[in-house]
């Protein structure tokens, strides 16, 4: 066999090995994700929302049945901060308002087009 044919076969072998590794990584991630998903979903308790305050510091709203609790969480401690009713849960912004990547990208592209039109 010629040297170029050996290089082509070697490249195909590397490509096949790469695809096999990607497939195994995908299957492993799916398996691990479904295995641990059961541990994060509770039958009677759910984290409604959380906000990151700083290094290892979070404030969470947790629903237990029909009750809502505010909890402060650090790497060393968890502290009850208060209880609120469902009527007091008011979204600060709609989900599609400004936070999605598509909206941020669209706004950025509009800004770029505006600057490009202003340069003419």
Structure confidence at residue 40 (pLDDT):
62
Structure confidence at residue 34 (pLDDT):
72
Burial 31-42 (b: 16+ CB within 10 A, else e): eeeeeeeeeeee
pTM greater than 0.85? no
Bridge partners, residue 52, by sequence: 58
Structure confidence at residue 44 (pLDDT):
86
| Per-residue pLDDT reduced to its tens digit, 23-62 | 999 999 888 877 666 666 678 888 888 888 888 899 999 9
CA 50, CA 68: separation in Å to the nearest integer? 13
| Token pair recorded at residue 61 | 């709203």
| Per-residue pLDDT reduced to its tens digit, 62-98 | 999 889 999 999 989 999 999 998 888 887 766 555 5
């Amino acid at each position: 066999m010629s040297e170029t044919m050996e290089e082509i076969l070697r490249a195909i072998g590397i490509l096949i090995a790469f695809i096999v590794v990607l497939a195994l990584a995908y299957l492993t991630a799916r398996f691990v994700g479904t295995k641990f998903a059961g541990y994060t979903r509770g039958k009677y308790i759910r984290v409604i929302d959380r906000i990151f305050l700083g290094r290892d510091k979070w404030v969470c709203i947790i629903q237990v049945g029909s009750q809502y609790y505010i909890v402060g969480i650090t790497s060393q401690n968890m502290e009850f901060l208060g209880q609120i009713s469902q009527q007091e849960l008011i979204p600060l912004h709609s989900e599609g308002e400004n936070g999605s990547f598509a909206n941020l990208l669209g706004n950025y592209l509009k800004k770029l087009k505006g600057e490009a039109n202003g340069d003419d």
